[in-house]
Amino acid sequence: MAQEKFTFQAEVSKLLDIVAHSLYSQKEIFLRELISNASDACDKLRYAALTDPKLTEGDNDFRITLIPDPKAKTLTVADNGTGMNHDDLTGLLGTIARSGTQAFVDQIGKKKDQNKDGDGNKEKNDMALIGQFGVGFYSSFMVAGKVEVLTRKAGEDKAWLWSSDGKGEFTIDAAQRDGRGTDVIVHLNKKDEEYLEPIRIETIVKHHSDHIGIPIVLKEGDAAKETERTLNTASALWTREKKDITAEQYKEFYHHVGHTFDEPWMTLHNKIEGVVAYTNLLFIPSSRPYDLFHPDRKAKAKLYVKRVFITDDCEGLLPPYLRFVQGIVDSEDLPLNISREMFQHNPQLAKIKSGLAKRILSELKKKAEKAPDEYEKFWENFGAVLKEGIYEEPENRERILALARFKSSETDGLITLDDYVKRMKDGQDTIYYFSGDNVDALMESPHLEGFKAKGVEVLLVTDPVDDFWIPSVGEFDGKQFKSATRSGADLSGIKEDGKSKDKKKDKKKDEDKDKGAEAIEPLLAQFKVALGDAVKDVRASSRLTDSAVCLVAEDGDMDIHLEKILKQHGQLNSTELTPRVLEINPGHSLIVGLSERAKKGDGKDKLINDAAHLLLDQARIVEGEPIKDVKAFSRRLSAVMESGLKL
Ligand code: ADP
Ligand code: MG
């Protein structure tokens, strides 16, 4: 059969170009990546052999062999794993298979755009990104002018030779190989010949790959005198005693298992001897993975049974709200011979899942108590995800609520719900919250004016999930949650604190307000007629101090921010708006003036009608809502300005 020629998928070419031309300081990671792939290939075959033992017949001992050849200037990474057939080679090594690599290329693309005006830092950025993502197989082109892959898939007769110089094309030839598995033959560049030296290889393996569960063997010498030496400890890391594992080894394992490149923020290594025996070695990352809010929301921990890798796609292992957790769970007590799909309904697995969730939450609690600053970093990264558990998993609701941290209108730091309740004012029986897109905008909003004036604390929440869990929980410690944008958020029963020093003046202010509220009745009536169905009601407000108007939701109606989120996600018809209550501030000079005019007028005053609509539009703008009828808005605005000129 003649040689076949292929071109790489465009993204791969881009990637190869970056990899080959970056003077990456840690080139040695190419070896870690190739060993990692070899180990994955053995894991895959071991699993497949559970149902088809013929696949590993005659060769049951998995191993990875490293063969430096000083004459040929090649370093070969060989494995007896699952191998690849022709389709695998074109699919897996010609395109970007893993979404992580795709994300890497996207990031590079973005950085390139940002650098169009040329700050000269492009190279540096690219390299930092390679460090962040790792690029698997392709990283071998950092040290090689040519890479060959001689491979034969388990259970098949044909072998293939894939070859490329990493410059846009690769070829595939029919070939010969004794037995299944893969040799990756790295033709080292002149300047990278250090990777032929046994000492160098050994150091890299010890440093980056010691955690690999199968032997990594170094083959030295020639046919006349060949020696073999195992370089790693060669037992699965999680089966070792905690005291025998260094922080560095945990970290390398975390990088391998999670395809991540940051430091683990927390490491949980436990052996459980309960009704179901299992070991977990789990990690919480120190930075957000790029796909945290990917719609499929799957947890990623890998499931092993008796050291055999089963799946990294096991929905029943960890709940979706813990999907940021990386690592492995290995159980002695799960059956080896059932299909991956069956695991999801296995009662023992359900026990493991519930045990893991409790352990993770309790470790988080400990950390929050012992190292609050560190905990806040975690919360910034993953709080939005953890909060999903409040409504998804009622059995852990209280635990997660205790872990939740909040920004608030009264402090710069983060507070807990307990803190909030302890700081509630005399006469306050409600936990007020205010949801929106960002804290700065919330702090500027008219809705907070009354709360601020009275020193009543409001939780400021900005994650979309907040609009779901808060209504679903309803209360904490016997206190109702209530949105600051609700009409029922009535502060009159709450006593002022020492904040406002001049009590007399405050009292007078309140009396003025009450008087004002009566005085504006005629104005309210005329506004109601003018606005008709556009509002649910027009009322005097006790929450406003500086602004003239604001929109609030009637109790029982949908929360204003929730409505916005649902619309953004196409869950609600975007042209339909729930009519709101327009609250007006009787103490505001504009309202006082309009009110005087309304009392004297005949109820058909055009200026007051225009003002009603303009003020409603203004309140909508403050909410970040678009103006419904832009033409009418401009006409009224011009009319009002003209009438101002006539005065
Ligand atoms: P990743 O390991 O993250 O999937 P890589 O770029 O390292 O990405 O590898 C791409 C794919 O090529 C792997 O997912 C695997 O399917 C295949 N592959 C690479 N090396 C081997 C190998 N030694 N044996 C079998 N398959 C391999
Ligand atoms: Mg890989």
Helices 247-258 + 198-208 axis angle, to 10: 80
For residue 97, the CA-to-ligand 2 centroid distance in Å is 10
Give the number of other CB atoms < 10 A from CB of residue 540. 21
Looking at residue 496, its pLDDT comes to 63
As a whole number of angstroms, the distance between CA 361 and CA 359 comes to 5
Q: For residues 375 and 388, what is the distance between their CA atoms, to the nearest angstrom?
A: 18
Structure tokens at 134: 């790792």
Q: What is the pLDDT of residues 198-215, one digit of tens each?
A: 999 999 999 889 989 999
Continuous segment of H or E residues that includes residue 430: strand 430-435
Residue 501 scores a pLDDT above 50: no
Radius of gyration of the chain (CA): 33
Reduced to 3 states, what is the DSSP secondary structure of residue 562? helix
For residue 229, the CA-to-ligand 2 centroid distance in Å is 24
Share of the chain above pLDDT 90, in %: 60
The alpha carbon dihedral of 587, 625, 410, 460 has a sign of positive
Ligand 1 atom 9: residue of nearest CA: 137
Q: Which of 365-374, 499-508, 599-608 has the lowest mean pLDDT?
A: 499-508
Q: What is the pLDDT of residues 408-434, one digit of tens each?
A: 999 999 999 999 999 999 889 999 999
Q: 30 near 142, Cβ under 8 Å?
A: yes
Whole-angstrom distance, CA of residue 348 vs CA of residue 350: 5
CA-nearest residue, atom 12 of ligand 1: 92
Q: How many CB atoms lie within 10 A of CB 303?
A: 24
Reading the block at residue 389, the tokens are: 């558990």
Conformation bin of residue 306: beta by default, left when phi > 0, alpha when psi is -120 to 50: left
For the CA of 181, the nearest atom of ligand 1: 24
Least confident interval from 45-49, 312-316, 458-462, 521-525: 312-316
Is 7 in contact with 169 (CB distance < 8 Å)? yes
Ligand 2 mean position to 142 CA, how many Å?
Answer: 15
Residue nearest to atom 4 of ligand 1 (CA): 98
Phi and psi of 206, rounded to 5°? -60, -40
Contact in structure between 465 and 565 (CB atoms under 8 Å): no
* Distance of CA 137 from the midpoint of ligand 2 (Å): 6
Top-ranked range on mean pLDDT: pick from 75-79, 253-257, 494-498? 75-79
pLDDT band of residue 611 (cuts 50, 70, 90) is very high
Determine the Cα–Cα distance for residues 184 and 163; give it in Å rounded to an integer.
10
Average pLDDT value for residue range 499-525 = 64
Q: How far apart are CA 42 and CA 216, in angstroms?
A: 12
The pLDDT score that the predictor gives to residue 623 is 83
For ligand 1, pick from 12, 15, 37, 44 the residue to mutate: most ligand atoms within 8 Å of CB: 37
Q: Which stretches within 445-554 are classed as H helix?
A: 449-454, 466-473, 503-519, 521-531
Q: Report CA(516)–ligand 2 centroid distance (Å).
A: 72
The tokens for 515 are 């008087």
Ligand 1 atom at shortest distance from the alpha carbon of 259: 3
DSSP state at residue 367: H
Residue predicted with more confidence, 489 or 603: 603
Instruction: Provide the mean pLDDT of the chain.
Output: 87
Q: What is the rounded distance in angstroms from the CA atom of residue 415 to the CA atom of residue 418? A: 8
Q: Distance from CA of residue 490 to its chain's centroid?
A: 37
DSSP 39: H
pLDDT band at 476 (very low <50, low <70, confident <90, very high): very high
Alpha carbons 325 and 265: distance in angstroms, whole number? 10
Tokens of 476: 């904490």
Domains of the chain: residue spans and CATH? 4-233 (3.30.565.10), 238-376 (3.30.230.80), 501-643 (1.20.120.790)
The backbone torsions φ and ψ at residue 620, rounded to the nearest 5 degrees and listed phi first, read -65, -40
Could you identify the residue written with the tokens 């209108």? 409
Nearest CA to ligand 1 atom 1: 136
Question: 466 pLDDT exceeds 50?
Answer: yes
Q: In what order do the strands lie in the sheet with 411-415?
A: 411-415, 406-408, 459-461, 430-435, 479-483, 475-476
**Residue 214 DSSP SS3:** coil
Tens of pLDDT, residue by residue over 535-559, are 999 999 888 889 999 999 988 888 8
C-alpha dihedral (20, 22, 25, 29), degrees to nearest 10: -30
- Provide the pLDDT for residue 253: 94
| Residue bearing tokens 């950390």 | 367
Confidence of residue 489 (pLDDT cuts 50, 70, 90): low
Please report the DSSP string for 3-21 in residue order: -EEEE--HHHHHHHHHHHH
**339 CA from centroid of ligand 1 (Å):** 23
Let me know the angle formed at the C-alpha of 19 by 17 and 23, rounded to the nearest 5 degrees.
115
| Confidence class for position 388, pLDDT limits 50, 70, 90 | very high
C-alpha to C-alpha distance for 237 and 233, rounded to whole angstroms? 9
Residue ID of nearest Cα to ligand 1 atom 8:
136
**Tens of pLDDT along 16-27?**
777 766 655 678
Spatial CA neighbour of 331 closest among 358, 362, 355, 361: 355
Where is 628: in which H helix or E strand?
Answer: none
Using 50, 70 and 90 to split pLDDT, how confident is the model at 350? very high
Q: How far apart are CA 291 and CA 625, in angstroms?
A: 30
Q: What would the mean pLDDT of 438-444 be, rounded to a whole number?
A: 92
- Cα–Cα distance measured from residue 87 to residue 93, given in angstroms and rounded to the nearest whole number: 10
Asked if the model's pLDDT at residue 116 lies above 60, the reply is no
Which residues sit with their C-beta closer than 6 Å to ligand 1? 33, 37-38, 40-41, 79, 81-84, 92-93, 97-98, 136-138, 182, 259
CA 402 / ligand 2 centre spacing (Å): 39
Q: What CA dihedral angle connects 495, 501, 504 and 505, to 10 degrees?
A: -100
Residue 118 has pLDDT above 50, yes or no: no
3-state secondary structure of 428: coil
